[in-house]
Amino acid sequence: MERLIVLDTETTGLDVDNGHKIIEIGCIEIIDRNITENSFHKYINPQRLIDEKAYEVHGISNEDLKDKPIFDDIIDEFILYISDSPLIIHNAPFDLGCLKSEYIQSNRDDASLENSREIIDTLKIARKASPGKRNTLDALCSRYSVDNTDRSLHGALLDAQLLANVYLRMTQGQTLIKGLTETQIDKNLDDNAIINNRKAKIIYASTQEIEEHQSYFKS
């Protein structure tokens, strides 16, 4: 059995070095190339103000989160859910950097995010498959005929669900949820699109990666 977890986060802002925090985590489970109903979704009280630009992206306010758990309250459930499964993330360094920061603040082993699992970065895959094209999530939904009409704002669970469908379509097809048909692409994906974290540690997003994420937010 092959189990994959598609993961997305929303945050108070883009720079964890300046104390920005995760406010939403959404995960979708794929088993043997089938999307299951076993999802993970949490809103999180960041105990700090959300940047105005971030609010414009996801529409989540501090008022929305005032009665939500802090990250430390949900981390064990999250760790249990993802287990040692490979993680599929769009622009992985950003989300992993945010998660690593939260792990450290919660006195958990942040190395568990990096060791003994594969990180599959769909942004790297998309750039390999379609060089020179826009590779935001919205662009990929359009390219692979994934219906994203419900996406007026970014949301971690919705974006993870869309990304799960995109990933299956861009890696040789699968019958998808919501009645989407099977499709294939005839490109061989470079093994470098899959990051083995035992060889490449991901700590925090670089300035370039933050700029790429800002561009992704503007999609």
196 pLDDT above the threshold of 80: no
**Higher model confidence: residue 20 or residue 202?**
20
166 pLDDT above the threshold of 90: yes
Percent of the chain clearing pLDDT 90 (strictly above):
69
Give the whole-angstrom CA distance, residue 57 versus residue 23. Answer: 13
Instruction: For residue range 4-18, list pLDDT tens digits in order.
Output: 999 999 999 988 888
Instruction: For residue range 17-45, list pLDDT tens digits in order.
Output: 888 999 999 999 999 999 999 999 999 99
pLDDT of residue 11: 95
Over range 122-127, report the average pLDDT.
95
Q: State the SS3 of the chain.
A: CCEEEEEEEEECCCCHHHCCCEEEEEEEEEECCEECCCCEEEECCCCCCCCHHHHHHHCCCHHHHCCCCCHHHHHHHHHHHHCCCCEEECCHHHHHHHHHHHHHHCCCCHHHHCCCCEEEEHHHHHHHHCCCCCCCHHHHHHHCCCCCCCCCCCCHHHHHHHHHHHHHHHCCCCCCCCCCCCCCCCCCCCHHHEEECCCCCCCCCCHHHHHHHHHHHCC
Over range 126-138, report the average pLDDT.
93
pLDDT band for 150, please (50, 70, 90 cuts): confident
pLDDT of residue 141: 95
Closest CA to 11 of 66, 72, 58, 47: 58
pLDDT of residue 210: 57
Q: Which of 17-31, 170-184, 201-215 has the highest mean pLDDT?
A: 17-31
Domain ranges of the chain: 3-208
Range with the lowest mean pLDDT among 33-42, 49-58, 144-153, 200-209?
Answer: 200-209
192 pLDDT above the threshold of 60: no
Report the CATH number of the 3-208 domain. 3.30.420.10
129 pLDDT above the threshold of 70: yes
Annotated catalytic residue: which of 20, 90, 154, 213?
Answer: 154
pLDDT of residue 211: 58
Over range 194-215, report the average pLDDT.
47
Alpha carbon dihedral 131, 136, 140, 142, in 10-degree steps, equals -120
Note if 20 is an active site residue: no
pTM for the structure as a whole: 0.78
Give the whole-angstrom CA distance, residue 96 versus residue 113. Answer: 8
Instruction: For residue range 90-117, list pLDDT tens digits in order.
Output: 999 999 999 999 999 999 999 999 887 9
Q: Which two tokens stand for residue 128?
A: 């390999």
